Amino acid sequence: MKCLVVLAHPLSSSLCGALAKTAIAALNNAGHEVQVENLYEAGFSPALTAAERATYYRPPFDASAIQAQTERLLAAEAIVLIFPTWWFGFPAMLKGWFDRV
């Protein structure tokens, strides 16, 4: 199975970082194809720009800023989300990924 592991924590030495390593290893050991989307490491921008938003109303939509992330998401058969709970919800970085990708 094609699995996408999305990590949304700024510190690789965190509990989330350790959980991601464990999940990735377990998925690989089970024979799955694993893609990792480490949002902080990749420098993903969670903020929608004015120019990007303006293209929503003018076809074609310019998805070039998120093309690679979109392709990985569409190719996935399973998604593993690894993130901390901050202020009773997921981090803004992950919310931005949900909204933009």
Phi, psi dihedral angles at 53 (to 5 degrees): -65, -40
pLDDT (tens place) for every residue of the chain, 101 residues total: 999 999 999 999 999 999 999 999 999 999 999 999 999 999 999 998 888 888 877 778 788 889 999 999 999 999 999 999 988 999 999 999 999 99
Task: Indicate the pairing of strand 78-82 with strand 2-7.
Answer: parallel
Query: Can you tell me whether residue 63 is helix, strand or coil?
Result: coil
Q: Per-domain residue ranges for the chain?
A: 2-100
**Rounded Cα gap, residues 47 and 7, in angstroms:** 17
**Rounded Cα gap, residues 91 and 71, in angstroms:** 23
| CATH code of domain 2-100 | 3.40.50.360
Query: Can you tell me whether residue 2 is helix, strand or coil?
Result: strand
Query: Can you tell me whether residue 7 is helix, strand or coil?
Result: strand
Our separate counts of H helices and E strands in the chain read 4, 3
pLDDT at residue 76 in the model = 98
| pTM (predicted TM-score) | 0.90
pLDDT at residue 96 in the model = 94
pLDDT at residue 12 in the model = 92
Where does residue 88 fall: left (phi above 0), alpha (psi -120 to 50 degrees), or beta otherwise? Answer: left
